[in-house]
Amino acid sequence: MTATEIAIVVVAAMVGALVKGITGLGYPIILVPVAALFVDASEAVVLVTISNLGMNLQLIWKGRSERTETRTVKRFLLSSVVGAMIGGYLLTFISDQVLRAVLIGVVAIFIGSRLWAPDVRIPPGLADRWSIPVGGIAGLFQGATSVSGPIVTPWFMSLGLARNTFVFSLSLVFGASGLAQILALALGGQFTADLFVVSVGLTPIALVVAEVGIALRSRLPKERFEQSVLVVLGLSAIGLTAKLIM
């Protein structure tokens, strides 16, 4: 990557970090497509992983007081780690078009349902039964694409969690599956020296900018916060669609 390309990636990382600090998601959704303009898609996935993990750990620490308020997160978490390991291993074998099409469909259905019936919530019994399979699917997408937000976000948003509990739950899942993904990618020889240096170099920048987003989150009314989450999901669907047809 040239100095200009790295500068563009850094700016995209800063935008993604700000969004992630506010909503708990959005960093890979923003950064992976930009990085993929200059490197292969699989390399863009690898490039995002370390700084994304750093921010997830940051959000977990900041929101640790919310740990008693989470629902079904432990089972979801464990299955997402297993899914991420599998997804990381299968990164070079899974059809990118199929993955993107499924993610686009999930996002479209969820946004449509939220606009049509915004107060619908997943009942506790149903959440208990489906947390493991949904978590596994989310981990698979995390491992294969670094983008599991379109699966994880609708799930936890539909549980009716408070905003800080919501962000904490997302960060737990993203952090655990992200760590599993990094291990799988490293074992598979996906990290080159250049990718590793850029990925590590993005981390302090992302952490600082995410702090700004965390501070802004508390100032957003609940309705604006949920709208921000839906906007990020919508942008992810647009980006995935553009990549699918290019």
What pLDDT, in 10s, does the model give residues 150-201? Answer: 778 788 878 878 888 888 888 888 888 788 778 878 888 888 888 888 889 9
Please report which confidence band the pLDDT of residue 99 belongs to, taking 50, 70 and 90 as the band edges: low
pLDDT above 70: percentage of residues in the chain: 83
For 127-147, b/e burial (b = at least 16 CB within 10 A) is: beeebbebbbbbbbbbbbbbb
The position carrying tokens 């490039």 is 47
If you count them, how many residues does the chain have?
A: 246
Residue 111: Cβ-neighbour burial (10 angstroms; 0-12, 13-18, 19+): middle
179 contacts 139 by C-beta, under 8 angstroms: no
pLDDT above 90: percentage of residues in the chain: 12
Q: Which domain holds residue 111?
A: 3-245
Mean pLDDT of the chain: 80
Q: Regarding predicted confidence, which is higher, 219 or 203?
A: 203
pLDDT at 83: 81
Closest CA to 139 of 74, 73, 84: 84
> Does residue 118 register a pLDDT over 70?
no
pLDDT at 94: 63
14 contacts 27 by C-beta, under 8 angstroms: no
Quote the number of domains for the chain.
Answer: 1
The position carrying tokens 């669609």 is 241
> Does residue 203 register a pLDDT over 70?
yes
Angle between helices 96-116 and 149-157 (to 10 degrees): 20
- Give this prediction's pTM: 0.76
